[in-house]
Structure 1
Amino acid sequence: MNETTVTLVGNVATNVEYRETLTGGVARFRFAVTVRRWDRERALWTDGPTSFYTVSAWRSLGMNVAASVSVGEPLVVHGRLKVREEEHEGRRKTFVDIDAVAVGHDLSRGTAAFRRAARQGPEASEVRVPAARVAESGRAEPPAPDLWQTPEPAVDPGLDTVGEMANGPVQIDCVATP
């Protein structure tokens, strides 16, 4: 599809409002982007006009935005641009919305401490627990805190190589042929 994607750098202008809907939770806030230009005559930076956008973040991104973002904070927002026109009190108005794909703090203007969010909902069932992490009771133990960490597979000392397939570790018996 031909969608227009944009990346904006600016500040949160309103409180983040989070609501649950039939299609998942959504966080919405207004985002202010002010143009800054170098004025050669005065040898200093000057502010240009400010543009305001309504940013919507859905599902887990929306929950994380609602828990992490406050008014005045500098952000980088990446998403799909949507322009809509509505008639309000007999006047035609144009609104510019961003359907966010990624939102993050602008680290050129401050620091942040990242905390990995706990997985919830249907996405949690997609986490595959390797066979090596199944307890003796036959139930899977919770995944390691670092989901990027590769677990050590169980190795049978009688076999030479260990591989990994979609269903867990696979041991391959290597036989030398004359």
Structure 2
Amino acid sequence: MNETIICAVGNVATQPVYRELPTGPSARFRLAVTSRYLDRAKNEWTDGHTNFFTVWANRQLATNAAASLNVGDPVVVQGRLKVRSDVRDGQSWMSADLEATSIGHDLARGTSAFRRASRPEPGAAASAQPEPEWETPPPTDSESQRADEAVVVT
């Protein structure tokens, strides 16, 4: 219940690795998150320390991430933070993993074109609904006339 949910903004550092597992699709990539600060002495923005996270995605998110992300892409990742530490060959190490719940391109730094992923389901063709028309159509002449007649001046 008490999980650490974070939102990290950075760049894709490695090409996503996609795997089909018995539990479903999985993908992982490294995310580089570099802090920036204004150096008042130089009056310019300066890069600070870079943190690296291993981002894990599962199921449809994994499929979409592998198809959409490339090295260098600016992204926003939200998910559960898991910090692990271990000792191997006498050396201790730490890693920070993000189990992603959402991944998206950072639109503050560029544009992106969204395409819905098609997920074929058994019997979906028979029950598929057309996309609704969201634009309000202009009124026909008879509707305009009825609307004018309905206006009552008091």
> TM-score with structure 1 length normalisation?
0.70
CA shift, 1:89, in A, is 1.8
For structure 2, the residue ranges without an aligned partner over 5 or more in a row are: 134-154
Instruction: Say which SS state the counterpart of residue 64 (structure 2) adopts.
Output: helix
Deviation per residue, 1:121-173 (Å, 9 max, x gap): xxx46x9x8xxxxxxxxxx6251353xx39xxxxxxxxxxxxxxxxxxxxxxx
Distance, in Å, in 2 between the alignment partners of 1:144 and 1:113 is 23
Deviation per residue, 1:3-43 (Å, 9 max, x gap): 00000000000010000112111110000000000111111
> Percentage identity across aligned positions?
52
Instruction: Say which SS state the counterpart of residue 126 (structure 2) adopts.
Output: coil
Distance, in Å, in 1 between the alignment partners of 2:21 and 2:15 is 19
Instruction: Say which SS state the counterpart of residue 30 (structure 1) adopts.
Output: strand
Where do 1:158-169 residues align within 5 Å? none
For structure 1, the residue ranges without an aligned partner over 5 or more in a row are: 130-139, 151-178
Indicate whether 1:95 and 2:82 are aligned: no
RMSD of the TM alignment (CA)? Answer: 1.8
Instruction: Say which SS state the counterpart of residue 141 (structure 1) adopts.
Output: helix
**Count of paired positions:** 133
| One-letter amino acid matched to 2:69 | V
Q: Which has the higher contact order (CA 8 A, sep 6+)?
A: 2
What residue in structure 1 maps to residue 119 of structure 2? 119
Instruction: Say which SS state the counterpart of residue 62 (structure 2) adopts.
Output: helix
Distance, in Å, in 1 between the alignment partners of 2:89 and 2:80 is 28
Distance, in Å, in 1 between the alignment partners of 2:130 and 2:20 is 28
Q: 1:141 aligns with which of 126, 140, 146?
A: 126
> TM-score with structure 2 length normalisation?
0.81
